């Protein structure tokens, strides 16, 4: 049985004012080192419950709900959804946590945020784990995401929401009934009429409007210097094999581990997946 994290809040600043952000904290408040886990595009911080519970004896862990997701506020100015805002909010969270350095684990969008922060001068990121994302995101993978990001389906029951999650998140891997429920219950919210909806602002899809192209961040990748682990779902369409291979040759010359039975992106709930992350991170201690 996974224990429960503490819910914490802090303020971020956007073009129209302040917004409240929520993060989920594991471990002791003044424990060091700090691990920050950042979720994917439509997800939220409770995705990391299993991994955080396993690593809490070794880390103080913060798992934020990125603005527009989970229990964090939605932006008034929808044009603000993008990486400049996300990076600024995460820099504020790092400052709030009060640690000079943090280890970073990011799934998909959370990995891109981590890459952007790790590439900056005087970056506080000590070790970087990227879950199924890299500096080249192919147009075809982005087009697949665009097919469902920003949709606002309603479900008559939690069971119907779980069934939907099993369909759209099938690439996460072969999960148990309890794991699918865990991923769903924190990713939806119940409305007053008893229906359920996804726990994110549909306007986060704004960056997908217009022409979709490959995302090329190799320039950032080549500036990263911290030890880096890359996890790749064996059937991933967002982190292609040739991109993963190139990530081993340039920039931080990442360690690569391929996860069988997954696409985009491994759920990091299975004991063997958590063990890969634990081994890499604890080598630094």
Confirm if 23 and 48 have CB atoms less than 8 A apart.
no
pLDDT band at 67 (very low <50, low <70, confident <90, very high): very high
Judge whether residue 195 has pLDDT over 70: yes
SS3 content of the chain, % helix, strand, coil (to 5): 35, 25, 40
Judge whether residue 85 has pLDDT over 50: yes
What is the value of pTM for the model shown?
A: 0.96
Non-local (6+) Cβ contacts of 257 within 8 A are 229, 230, 231, 232, 276
Taking residues 168-192, what's their average pLDDT?
96
Taking residues 237-251, what's their average pLDDT?
97
Non-local (6+) Cβ contacts of 11 within 8 A are 18, 19, 20, 21, 92
Taking residues 177-186, what's their average pLDDT?
97
pLDDT band at 212 (very low <50, low <70, confident <90, very high): confident
More confident call, 166 vs 145: 166
- DSSP character for 162? H
d(CA 24, CA 40): 15
pLDDT band at 207 (very low <50, low <70, confident <90, very high): confident
Judge whether residue 1 has pLDDT over 70: no
Confirm if 62 and 25 have CB atoms less than 8 A apart.
yes
Q: Would you list the domain boundaries of the chain? A: 6-138+216-282
- Which of 139-143, 191-195, 264-268 is predicted least confidently? 139-143
Spell out the CATH class of 6-138+216-282: alpha beta
């Amino acid at each position: 049985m996974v224990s429960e994290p503490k819910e914490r809040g802090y303020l971020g600043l956007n073009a129209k004012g302040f917004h409240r952000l929520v993060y989920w904290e594991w471990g002791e408040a003044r424990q060091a080192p700090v691990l920050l886990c950042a979720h994917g595009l439509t997800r939220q911080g409770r995705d990391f419950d299993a991994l955080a519970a396993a690593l809490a004896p070794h880390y103080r862990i913060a798992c934020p709900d990125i603005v527009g997701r989970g229990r964090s506020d939605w932006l008034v100015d929808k044009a603000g959804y993008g990486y400049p805002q996300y990076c600024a909010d995460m820099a504020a969270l790092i400052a709030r946590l009060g640690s000079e350095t943090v280890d970073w684990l990011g799934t998909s969008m959370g990995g891109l945020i981590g890459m952007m922060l790790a590439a900056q001068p005087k970056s506080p990121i000590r070790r970087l784990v990227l879950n199924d994302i890299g500096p080249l995101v192919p147009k075809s993978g982005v087009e697949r995401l665009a097919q469902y990001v920003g949709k606002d389906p309603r479900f008559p029951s939690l069971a119907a929401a779980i069934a939907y999650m099993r369909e759209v998140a099938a690439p996460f891997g072969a999960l148990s009934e309890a794991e699918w429920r865990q991923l769903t219950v924190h990713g939806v919210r119940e409305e007053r009429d008893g229906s359920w909806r996804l726990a994110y602002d549909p306007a986060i899809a704004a960056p997908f409007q217009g022409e979709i192209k490959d995302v090329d961040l190799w320039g950032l990748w080549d500036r990263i210097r911290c030890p880096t682990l890359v996890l790749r779902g064996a059937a991933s369409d967002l982190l292609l094999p040739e991109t993963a291979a190139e990530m081993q040759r340039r920039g931080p010359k990442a360690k690569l581990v391929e996860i069988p039975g997954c696409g985009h992106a491994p759920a990091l709930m299975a004991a063997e997946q958590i063990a890969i992350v634990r081994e890499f991170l604890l080598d630094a201690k």
